[in-house]
């Protein structure tokens, strides 16, 4: 089935993607007044659905909205959505905007039906050669706002940083505020120094990534020493390994930082181990999906 043939969820109905329309006064369009989630689904089973929906609730609460659907209702919607690509690994996208009032006005309207969208598409197959080559990253000043913990669709700061990195010949940027390295343009940051896995603590400056949490949990289970601690640019430049984690890109090793090799310039030993642990976790989700289908 081609991507275009898939139905999307829009405000309570499933409709063909090319018939899904939103008014031009939608506040998501005009103000970026909107939040989102990206949820990977392995073999059709969403990864950590509860945690993703909890984060969606937190993003909505932070902008004075409540989730228009219960978690159970979301599970039903996503089941129907992902059933369109049976057995496939997918990336689900949810977006909730404050809605479309009659006219443009900065004031938050009191009564307004939100716009609720969910789509799915196949997760691109993992490119093993690319994974081994790793990411060539540069550090850049973080020009985003002060609530990076809210998963808002107002992503211009991220988009411009990514573009800046690409125009410098890099693959991605690691964003820096007051000398502290925070996260990638669409990913969380980890580094390994003397066998210790370190990631910046959650707070207003980074998105509390679901993959980040999973990596920390796997580290805990496997007895890999880890810490949530500030990471300076100097620490990063001297790290043995650097990783970027996200729902769609999983765990990527950064093999070059600011034009210099990280470690020996190849994905490190701990990256290999964590990558395998994540792979095993995904395999369990796919098995769960098959068991649900067989039952
Ligand atoms: N982005 N930090 C930022 C700024 C992000 O945009 C993302 C994910 C993450 C990682 O979060 P998670 O592990 O929950 O995916 C961290 C998604 C994938 C996106 O914008 O497409």
pLDDT per residue over 79-98, tens digit each?
Answer: 999 999 999 999 999 999 99
Cα–Cα distance for residue pair 116/3, rounded to 1 Å: 20
Name the residue with the closest Cα to ligand 1, atom 20.
186
Checking if the pLDDT of 198 tops 60, the result is: yes
Q: Return the residue whose CA atom lies nearest to atom 11 of ligand 1.
A: 209
With the most atoms of ligand 1 within 8 angstroms of its CB, the residue from 41, 50, 247 to mutate is 247
**Which of 2-16, 50-64, 162-176, 253-267 has the weakest average pLDDT?**
2-16
Q: In the structure, what pLDDT confidence band is assigned to residue 1 with cuts at 50, 70 and 90?
A: very low
Residue whose CA is at the smallest distance from ligand 1 atom 3:
186
151 catalytic? Reply is yes
Per-residue confidence at 4, pLDDT binned at 50, 70, 90?
very low
pLDDT in tens, 201-225: 999 999 999 999 999 999 999 999 9
Residues with CB under 6 A from ligand 1: 38, 158, 183, 186-188, 207, 209-212, 245-248
Dig out the tokens for 7 from the structure. Answer: 């139905």
The pLDDT value recorded for residue 66 is 97
Atom of ligand 1 nearest to the CA of 183: 2
* CB half-sphere exposure, 89, CA atoms < 13 A: 18
Q: Which domains does the chain have, with CATH numbers?
A: 3-122 (3.30.470.10), 128-282 (3.20.10.10)
Measured in degrees and rounded to the nearest 5, phi and psi for residue 205 equal -90, -10
**Tell me, what's the pLDDT at 2?**
46
């Amino acid at each position: 089935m081609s991507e275009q043939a898939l139905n999307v969820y829009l405000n309570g109905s499933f409709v063909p993607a090319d018939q899904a329309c939103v008014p031009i006064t939608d506040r998501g369009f005009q103000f970026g007044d909107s939040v989102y989630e990206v949820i990977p689904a392995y073999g059709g089973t969403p990864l950590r659905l509860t945690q993703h929906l909890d984060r969606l609730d937190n993003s909505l609460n932070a902008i004075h909205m409540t989730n228009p659907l219960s978690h159970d209702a979301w599970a039903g919607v996503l089941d129907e959505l992902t059933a369109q690509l049976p057995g496939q690994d997918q990336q689900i996208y949810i977006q909730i905007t404050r809605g479309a009032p009659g006219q443009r006005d900065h004031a938050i309207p009191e009564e307004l039906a939100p716009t609720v969208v969910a789509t799915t598409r196949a997760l691109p197959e993992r490119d093993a050669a690319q994974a081994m080559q790793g990411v060539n990253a540069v550090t850049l000043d973080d020009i985003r706002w002060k609530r990076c913990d809210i998963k808002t669709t107002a992503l211009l700061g991220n988009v411009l940083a990514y573009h800046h990195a690409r125009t410098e010949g890099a693959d991605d940027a690691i964003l820096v505020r007051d000398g502290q390295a925070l996260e990638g343009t669409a990913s969380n940051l980890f580094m390994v120094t003397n066998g210790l896995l370190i990631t910046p603590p959650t707070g207003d400056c980074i998105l509390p990534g679901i993959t980040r949490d999973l990596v920390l949990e796997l580290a805990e289970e496997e007895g890999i020493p880890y810490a949530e601690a500030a990471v300076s640019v100097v620490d990063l430049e001297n790290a043995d390994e650097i990783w970027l984690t996200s729902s769609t890109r999983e765990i990527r090793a950064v093999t070059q930082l600011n034009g210099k090799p990280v470690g020996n310039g190849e994905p490190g030993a701990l990256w290999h181990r964590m990558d395998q642990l994540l792979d095993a976790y995904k395999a369990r989700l796919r098995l769960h999906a098959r068991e649900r289908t067989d039952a």
